[in-house]
Amino acid sequence: TQDAVMKRGFGDNRDGSIMRDGMPSVQGRNFTATADHVEVLQGPASLLYGIQDPGGVVNVVSKKPQLQQANALTLRGSAYAHGRNGSGGQLDSTGPLGDSGLAYRMILDHEDEDYWRDFGKSRETLVAPSLA
């Protein structure tokens, strides 16, 4: 599965118009667990980033380590037709590393669900540590 964004009726990510922190995304997916916010540059101004569809550019900005301690835990569950179930969770922890002026961030995300076809499973795990 890949992320694709239609921009004013134009294209998908084949032209590099989905970016991660200002760089063309080489992955077919941009993990939302690590996304802080999304910036959209609409229309032909997207040509500032090279040969692009004239619909625009989407930039996914990553979460950064913070000097203020914060923790978040999210649990997810779902049920689909014909007994297909799923569950998942996310842990996002950030804070200072002593008095050094450095900060850390650890994002853990896991999803486990029945595949849309019979007898299949979809499991995805993300471990994203960072220092700043």
Identify the domain boundary among 30, 62, 94: 62
- The whole-angstrom separation of Cα 124 and Cα 111 is 5
In terms of Cα–Cα distance, which of 58, 45, 42 is closest to 5? 58
Q: How confident is the model at residue 35 (pLDDT cuts 50, 70, 90)?
A: very high
The structure tokens listed for 86 are 């799923």
- In percent, the amount of the chain with pLDDT more than 70 equals 76
Which residue range is the domain that position 29 belongs to?
18-62
Kindly state whether residue 98 falls inside one of the protein's structural domains: yes
124 has pLDDT over 60:
yes
CATH number of domain containing 74: 2.20.130
What are the two backbone dihedrals, phi and then psi, of residue 55, each rounded to the nearest 5 degrees? -75, -30
Tens digit of each residue's pLDDT (9 = 90 or more) over 82-104: 677 889 999 999 999 999 999 99
DSSP 54: T
